[in-house]
Amino acid sequence: MKTVIIKYNAGNVQSVMYALDRLGVNYLYTDEEEEIRSADRVIFPGVGEASTAMAYLRSKKLDKLIPSLTQPVLGTCIGMQLMCRYSEENSTDCLGIFDVDVKRFPKTPGVKVPHMGWNSIYDYQSTLLTGLEEKAYVYFVHSYAPPVCDYTIATCNYIHPFSAMLHRDNFYAAQFHCEISGDVGEKILSNFLKGE
């Protein structure tokens, strides 16, 4: 089993690497096409801002590579948002793997943005969530999110319901940070990395 973490200017991916270490999973951190194509599992991590990240992906031609992958791919946080069609964050055209637009949380009196902290997810519709209790808590830090749509496999509610996880074919994505979401996050990562 070969696992690759895609290397790009996505902020701190160290905690993703450490999470894989804890799971006993070897990985390669790379932006080379051959290595990525030959992986059994691909993780597309990220913390940061959409337009800068997309510009970098284009400069490395990763914007063409990632949507063409056929093995299981898991995007997290900004990785998830980049897999959508478009993000309101600096009006950014994204990869279009999920035909849905990422929107900013609306200004709401008394409610803070970013959505930061532990929130529960529900309405599971994927084997990636096998073994989790309903309404499991995971850790979020974000100001933008895709709405609930045909690809939604887990929902979260903050101001309004939004997609906590998406799935289409071989592509999976999580808005929250699996790598620092305690045992729940590790279970999701483990399901992704060790599943069929």
Binding residues vs another protein (CB under 8 A): 11-12, 14-15, 18-19, 21-22, 47-49, 112-120, 137, 139, 141-142, 157-158, 177, 179-183, 185-186
What are the structure tokens assigned to 43, written together? 């993780």
Shortest gap between Cβ of 108 and another protein (angstroms)? 10
Of 6 and 50, which CB lies nearer to another protein in the complex structure? 50
Nearest in space to 75 (alpha carbons), one of 51, 102, 47: 47
Question: Catalytic one among 32, 77, 178, 196?
Answer: 77
Distance CA 179, CA 187 (A): 10
Of 25 and 71, which CB lies nearer to another protein in the complex structure? 25
The backbone torsions φ and ψ at residue 194, rounded to the nearest 5 degrees and listed phi first, read -110, 0
Of 55 and 116, which CB lies nearer to another protein in the complex structure? 116
Distance CA 6, CA 75 (A): 10
Of 61 and 160, which CB lies nearer to another protein in the complex structure? 160
Distance CA 42, CA 63 (A): 14
Please confirm, yes or no, whether 179 is among the known catalytic residues: yes
Cβ count within 10 A of residue 54: 23
Question: Catalytic one among 115, 177, 178, 196?
Answer: 177
Cβ count within 10 A of residue 103: 17
CB proximity list for 169: less than 8 A, separation 6 or greater:
none
Shortest gap between Cβ of 68 and another protein (angstroms)? 28
Shortest gap between Cβ of 105 and another protein (angstroms)? 11
Please confirm, yes or no, whether 149 is among the known catalytic residues: no
Please confirm, yes or no, whether 32 is among the known catalytic residues: no
Shortest gap between Cβ of 60 and another protein (angstroms)? 20
Q: Which residues are catalytic?
A: 77, 177, 179
